[in-house]
Amino acid sequence: MSIDRRTFFAAATATAGLTALRPRELLSDHTSAPPAVPDGFDPWIEVDRAALQANLTSISRVAGGRPVTAVIKNNGYGLGTVEVARALDGHPALAGVAVVKVSAAVDLTEADVRAPVLHMGAATLEEAREMAGRGIRLSVFEEDDPARVDTLAREIGGPVPAHIYVDTGMRRMGIPAHRALPWLERMAGSAVSVEGTFMGFTERDFDYEQLRRFETLAGAAREKGIELGRLHAASTHGLFNRPDAYLDMVRPGLAVYGGAAGAGSADFTPALRLRARVARVERLLEGDTVSYDGAWKAEKPTWTATLQVGHADGYPRRSVDGCEVLIGGRLYPVIGSVSASHTIVVLGDEPVVAVGDIATLIGPDDPAIHPIEVARRGGGSIYDLLMHLGQRLPRAVV
């Protein structure tokens, strides 16, 4: 049997239990590569399973021990839907995972994720039929959902597990609270198995009124004997700002990934690294310019390094306005302009890094590359930064 070099290195690593080895021409002695990461110059995302688990523990602690439904919509906030779900699966605080896209919910069941999967969006009858058949928890909020649930129950041969979605003022999805009670009575008479009832905050002063509407409706429904399951409302914003909204369960997204800011967020660690290997090290002459339109000019002979990662991969275009990249324990400023596929950093008077060294553009290893700081320097929000990470980038769980 013939064995190529990549197969040899992988086999040697698995046999010896060592850090993954790399061909000498791809990796200098400056940096040890972590296991299970790509071995070329293309960028990748490392998903830190331990950080995700620790963040979930911290969420439950902040919420007074309440169970957690982890929101992993939009490709797991950039970390990968399946990768995040698998990393969290089995955690004692995890009550389930929630997504918005039907395809994401189906992917989770095909990946054999054991945690209950909640679909928080709208679905056609065909989509609802497939999800119900897979045990995915539906969100019910349409006027005709009581009848649809009965149709689905006949087809799957039993009650349909679901969460009731109430619109208390977000005006995005859900049955409007002011006309929900008669609808809840009809829903209670259907073949639904209600596991929870939820709402979403607008994250402003109006939240107080939203919670009042939600709790008033819940109280009226329970007086009529209507089963509502666990009440949940608090996203990451509510986790840190609205303890009165913890209710029976919390439903954070951003905190799971360690991207939350503000009081109480110090115990949360970013659970990702955006990385690439140095693809080129070159000495500029005095007067040489860098990138399109000569956006940066060398005032003296200067060494630079090029990374094959750019704004098409989710690294902000405006990173040149102050972002830095970590290579070998040192920070190097981004210069020129971030193009679709390349980022250039200035090294200084000496070629202190080598082709193949691993560069970290976003991660927990230095305050300068913390996702919140990269988002700030790059002129965007933490949500923009995480959710716009390239979906085609490999995700390596480490």
pLDDT tens string 263-303: 677 789 999 999 999 999 999 999 999 999 999 999 999 99
Residue type, 96: G
Band (pLDDT 50/70/90 cuts) for residue 331 is very high
- What mean pLDDT value characterizes the chain? 91
Contact 66, 249 (CB under 8 A): yes
Q: Tell me the C-alpha distance between 219 and 212, whole Å.
A: 10
Between the alpha carbon of residue 363 and those of residues 49, 172, 347, 388, the distances in Å are: 14, 33, 20, 15
Hey, what CATH class is 49-267 in? alpha beta
- For 222-269, the pLDDT digits (tens) are 999 999 999 999 999 999 999 999 999 999 999 999 998 776 777 899
Half-sphere exposure of 198 (CA within 13 A, CB side): 28
Write down the residue that tokens 């660690």 correspond to. Answer: 269
Contact 25, 229 (CB under 8 A): no
- For 10-65, the pLDDT digits (tens) are 333 333 332 232 322 333 334 444 446 788 999 999 999 999 999 999 999 999 99
- For 350-368, the pLDDT digits (tens) are 999 999 999 999 999 999 9
Q: Tell me the C-alpha distance between 128 and 121, whole Å.
A: 10
Domain ranges of the chain: 5-46+270-397, 49-267
- Are 5-46+270-397 and 49-267 the same fold in CATH? no
**Radius of gyration, CA atoms only, the chain:** 25
Full-prediction pTM beyond 0.85? yes
Contact 209, 169 (CB under 8 A): yes
Contact 133, 156 (CB under 8 A): yes
In total, the chain counts a number of residues equal to 398
Mean pLDDT of 90-108: 98
Looking at residue 144, its pLDDT comes to 97
Hey, what CATH class is 5-46+270-397 in? mainly beta
Contact 173, 196 (CB under 8 A): no
